A and B are shown apart, each in its own frame.
Chain A
Amino acid sequence: MKKILDIPERESNLQSPISNLQSPISNVLAGRQFQALATVPLLAQRGAFVVAMYDTILHRQALVAQLRQQVAPQPLFEFTVTPLRPDVHEYLVQMTPQQQQERAVVCIYDIECVWPDAARYLDRQRDVLSAYPHTLVLWIERYTRGPLAQAAPNFFSRHSGVFDLCALTEAPRIEIP
């Protein structure tokens, strides 16, 4: 098969910085859902909204570290939502004007901590956020998926993928006929 993008080989995913971690997170890193997530920024020339579900902070850190490697040379920025900064749009503050106009991955954390205000901001700001060529990765806990779809329906309806990267509990898989 023709190789469309230069996606790093899966074997290399198991190297530093998570080489000291044992399964189950190493299985997630080598898995299809993570590969799909890491492929989005490589494809999306004008950015995208995606949702990544995780189960522990440690696992999330490992996933983000590996994501950073796989999307390079695109920079990866991180933004944590807090009660003082509930508006996701503020991630732009940490970027230079040039960075704002260039492709990048932006990981958004802890939307659950300012619930539902942060989700509502996200919903209202969807057009503003779409204007930048950034792949926004909204990291949520699995139980947040339904409430997010309800609290931020317009943002959610524009997503380019929800990726299940939970290592400790497996989502029930039901085959489609």
Chain B
Amino acid sequence: MPAETLEDAYNALDPRRPITPEQVDRLFVTRPSSPVRKIEAQLELSDSRLKLLFVGHRGSGKSSEMAYLSTLLEANFLSVPVPLYDIFKSPAVSHTEVIFAMTLRLLVLATGEAVVARGVLNNVWEHFLEESYITLKRLIFGDAHIEADRQQTMTLKLNVLAAELETKIGTESFTRSQVKEKFEGRVVDLLEQIDRVTHLLEEKIGRNLILIVEDLDKFDPADTRRLFLDHARTLTAPHPSIIYSFPVAMRYDNDFKEIEQGFDDVHMLPNVALKHRDGLPDDTGWETMVRICQRRVAPGLFAEGITDRAIALSGGHVKSFIQLMQQAVLNAVVDEAEIVQLSNLKEAQRAMRDDYIVLLRREQIRLLRLLRDDPDKDLVDITPEKQALLSNGSLLEYADERGPWADVNPVVLELLDRDWA
């Protein structure tokens, strides 16, 4: 039910929260140029387990699209999120740690109530759990002693151990260094464990597993580049299908061609185009943005023309649109107004524009002017200067049949004609 009061609208327009799988029916809007349906088809049709890169700009809606994908695949796949930063809470992560995080997530899943409750554990399963428990205990704590417990107790023990380890490697430097030290040369063992638990799990739940590895944009870009360049084979070695949510900045890196080769495919999520590259309106894109708004907020809360103006200002960048609308709602509440008026949106627009005033340098303004006036708007020669503009959001990326193209963020446009002398 879309929000019908300004207070509810404010909360429905929270720029911090992507759509969750549970909210997909209520909030998600499919968009043109999204690769999600193609990813779904690839995963459903392929005989092999695919390893994919999913690339998108900050705020373009990657996490919401992944939530949508998990609902599309629900019948045949179980999505397992692997939020690397939430687990390690550190500025960098090694290939061993990525594989270790996957192992822990799968062990927690395998020993969790949802799976255990599906039936009596067989001998193979029991043996696997016991072996996993002993291996983890011995390697990390140097303690391999276990009592001859019943298998259910072993399930519980392993579940507690895996969950505890996941907490400890993010909070205790000792545990993390133990993991690094003990598993550095034993990635093969971890991969073997992943393969075994995947087979057992898939057999038990009757669906394939797909790991969604997130948070790579939270680590130091140089370390992440090394991780993908030097260890692509390890990252793609685990048995289940894997989607790595990939930092967009690295897509324009010179090494990207090499990185790309290690994966089955790369998918890019562009912004929602509101016009074609020749400047003619793109009605499909525009309608998409209208629906995104209407799913969250009843249209009656906005004076006439407000939604259209906010859409135009957003340039089809979903988070900017949500942010603009939320701040316009706040301004209306401060005014004690019943609905959002044009003055409220203009105030929000000024605030967003001011974010760019402090961010952009003179040479960037000059480059943006050139890009605004470029009739082709092709994204071919991506110089570091253009990368910086894409990264700070002053240049927005789109896609059409001809390939990727870019245009200046509409909020920034008015700054380009200003005299900065």
Q: Using a CB–CB distance below 8 Å, which chain A residues touch chain B?
A: 1-5, 7, 32, 35-36, 39-40, 43-49, 120, 123-128, 130, 145-146, 149-150, 153-154, 156-162, 171, 173-174, 176-177
Determine whether the beta carbon of B16 is less than 8 Å from that of A130: yes
Report how far A70 CA is from B330 CA in the complex, Å. Answer: 16
Give every chain B residue within 8 A of A177 (Cβ-Cβ): 414
Is B284 interfacial (CB 8 A cutoff)? no
Determine whether the beta carbon of A43 is less than 8 Å from that of B11: yes
Binds A, one of B26-34, B150-158, B267-275, B343-351: B343-351
Is B91 interfacial (CB 8 A cutoff)? yes
Give every chain B residue within 8 A of A176 (Cβ-Cβ): 346, 349-350, 353, 414
Is B25 interfacial (CB 8 A cutoff)? no
Is B377 interfacial (CB 8 A cutoff)? no
Give every chain B residue within 8 A of A127 (Cβ-Cβ): 83, 85-86, 215
Give every chain B residue within 8 A of A146 (Cβ-Cβ): 358-359
Determine whether the beta carbon of A126 is less than 8 Å from that of B16: yes
Report how far A123 CA is from B85 CA in the complex, Å. Answer: 11
Assuming the contacts A5-B7, A36-B330, A43-B10, asked whether A157 and B391 have C-beta atoms less than 8 A apart, the reply is no
State how many angstroms separate the Cβ of B325 from the closest Cβ of chain A. Answer: 11
Is B285 interfacial (CB 8 A cutoff)? no
State how many angstroms separate the Cβ of A164 from the closest Cβ of chain B. Answer: 8
Q: Mark B182-193, 1 if CB is under 8 A from A, else 0.
A: 000000000000
List 12 contacting pairs A-B, 8 Å CB cutoff, sorted by A: A1-B338, A4-B7, A43-B7, A43-B10, A43-B11, A44-B11, A46-B11, A49-B16, A124-B218, A126-B16, A149-B355, A157-B15
Residues 1-30 of B contacting A (Cβ, < 8 Å): 5-7, 10-11, 14-17
Determine whether the beta carbon of B16 is less than 8 Å from that of A158: yes
Q: Using a CB–CB distance below 8 Å, which chain B residues touch chain A?
A: 5-7, 10-11, 14-17, 58-59, 83, 85-86, 89, 91, 215, 217-218, 319, 323, 326-327, 330-331, 333-338, 346, 349-351, 353-355, 358-359, 391-393, 414, 418
State how many angstroms separate the Cβ of B379 from the closest Cβ of chain A. Answer: 20
Give every chain B residue within 8 A of A157 (Cβ-Cβ): 15, 58-59, 319, 323, 393
Determine whether the beta carbon of B336 is less than 8 Å from that of A145: no
Determine whether the beta carbon of A161 is less than 8 Å from that of B330: yes
Report how far A110 CA is from B333 CA in the complex, Å. Answer: 30
Determine whether the beta carbon of A4 is less than 8 Å from that of B327: no
Interface hub of A3, A40, A127, A128 (most chain B Cβ within 10 A):
A127
Q: Taking A128-B86, A162-B355 as given, write out 17 further A-B residue pairs in contact, using a Cβ cutoff of 8 Å, ordered by the A residue number.
A: A1-B335, A3-B336, A4-B5, A7-B333, A36-B331, A40-B330, A49-B16, A124-B89, A124-B91, A127-B86, A146-B358, A149-B355, A153-B58, A153-B391, A160-B327, A161-B327, A177-B414
Report how far A119 CA is from B373 CA in the complex, Å. Answer: 35
Determine whether the beta carbon of B15 is less than 8 Å from that of A120: no
Assuming the contacts A145-B358, A161-B330, asked whether A4 and B16 have C-beta atoms less than 8 A apart, the reply is no
Assuming the contacts A4-B5, A130-B17, asked whether A171 and B354 have C-beta atoms less than 8 A apart, the reply is yes
Report how far A44 CA is from B15 CA in the complex, Å. Answer: 12
Determine whether the beta carbon of A39 is less than 8 Å from that of B333: yes
Give every chain A residue within 8 A of B326 (Cβ-Cβ): 160
Determine whether the beta carbon of A45 is less than 8 Å from that of B11: yes
Which 3 residue pairs are nearest across A and B when measured between Cβ atoms?
A146-B358, A158-B16, A130-B16
Determine whether the beta carbon of A39 is less than 8 Å from that of B330: yes
Assuming the contacts A1-B336, A124-B91, A157-B319, asked whether A43 and B85 have C-beta atoms less than 8 A apart, the reply is no
